[in-house]
Amino acid sequence: MRYIFSPTVFLYRLLVTELLCLLLVIMSSGWVSNLTFLFKKGIFMVVKRILSGMQPSGNPHLGNYLGAMRQHIEMQDKGDCLYFIANYHALTTLRDGAVLREKTRELAMDYLALGLDPNKVAFFVQSDVPEVTELAWILDTIAPMGLLERAHAWKDAKAKGKKGETAGLFNYPVLMAADILIYQSDIVPVGQDQKQHVEIARDLAGTFNSIYGETFKLPKPFIKKEVAVVPGTDGQKMSKSYGNVIEIFAPADVLKKQVFAIKTDSKGVNDPKDPATCIPYLLLALIVEEKEKLEFRTQLEEGGIGYAQLKTALFEKLLEYFGKAREKRFELENKLDFVEDVLKEGAKKARKVAKETMETVAKKVGLR
């Protein structure tokens, strides 16, 4: 029988051979790690865009780190991350330009010291992408008053009377929606208290899409369920507003003073103690390995360890846990040009996406 050459058949067989060779490579060298590599390269899945913003409200404390900052850094390898310093949002409470600039720069250094890699993420200052305020106004024109009046942050501020009842505070969720939507975000890591704001962003995106046609992605909140409430030195949730924080970059003498200010009861060294109500132990448990955690717990339950010893252990473990970050943070104090360059480069990446979104939005609403 005479063989007839077929280019189509030849290419098909070549493709099958290539796929089989790829499969053999994957199987021979550890299929999980290789598939993970291929996933990251975007061969088998679409990379999700992750967005989060942080207000420059002061020196970061242990609660900030465990509740949000560590999560941001861990997620930089899991998607296309855009992280910004929310200085527009900070204007609702901070009315000193020099202080805001200083706090913005300091927060940037804090994140870089803790391990945020500017080669993996777009790290920038919110106000360096002015398109976000343009989108916020457009969203304002379709945002129902009732939706904003039901926002927890607004209701809490009114009830507690801690913040002035300004239009900026009332519109806070709309600006946050603009932050999220302008970058076509898929995932927004937030605390439980911010979940409603992401839902408001979804509502506004859906309303805009229904009026003007498909434009925005519908973002989803990501809440890390296993993050425990970090107790402050007085037993309440650690918060700057309560004055009960332990600052991770404080000078050693200040850090020690904060640790030894932790409230405890009057039980003696040999008295059994309840780990569930012992604040020094609860904080230690958040930063030590499971074996060491169990050892401290056993000592408390059986007696034989005093609060001074426990606080000393906590102080030393904090210095150990954040040792490298504290050193890098000190180094960055002398590399402010580098920090500024990181933020400018991040803003370029973010603004490119924002401009594309705003060009589409402006055309759809009739502004272009």
Per domain, the residue ranges of the chain are: 49-229+336-365, 250-321
In the annotation, is 224 catalytic? no
* Model pLDDT, residue 44: 42
* Model pLDDT, residue 154: 84
Q: Are 92 and 141 in contact (CB under 8 A)?
A: no
In the annotation, is 240 catalytic? yes
* Model pLDDT, residue 6: 58
49-229+336-365 matches 250-321 in fold: no
Among residues 237, 328, 349, 364, the one annotated as catalytic is 237
Question: CB under 8 Å to 354, separation ≥6 — which residues?
Answer: 129, 131, 132, 182, 183
Average pLDDT on 123-127 reads 98
* Model pLDDT, residue 191: 78
Is the pLDDT at 299 greater than 90? The verdict is yes
Q: Given CATH 1.10.240.10, say whether it is the number of domain 250-321.
A: yes
- What is the architecture, at CATH level 2, of domain 49-229+336-365? 3-Layer(aba) Sandwich (3.40)
Query: How does the average pLDDT of the chain come out, rounded?
Result: 89
Give dist(CA 279, CA 63) in Å, integer: 13
In the annotation, is 217 catalytic? no
* Model pLDDT, residue 16: 60
Q: Are 205 and 174 in contact (CB under 8 A)?
A: no
Is the pLDDT at 38 greater than 60? The verdict is no
Among residues 120, 217, 224, 240, the one annotated as catalytic is 240
Among residues 40, 120, 158, 217, the one annotated as catalytic is 158
- Nearest CA-CA partner of 105 in 351, 329, 353: 329
Per-residue model confidence as pLDDT tens digits over 232-271:
999 998 988 899 999 999 999 999 999 999 999 999 999 9
What's the Cα-to-Cα distance from 257 to each of 234, 250, 277, 314, 337, rounded to whole Å?
A: 14, 10, 21, 12, 33
Give the pLDDT band (50/70/90) at residue 47.
confident
* Model pLDDT, residue 354: 98
Is the pLDDT at 35 greater than 60? The verdict is no
* Model pLDDT, residue 7: 58
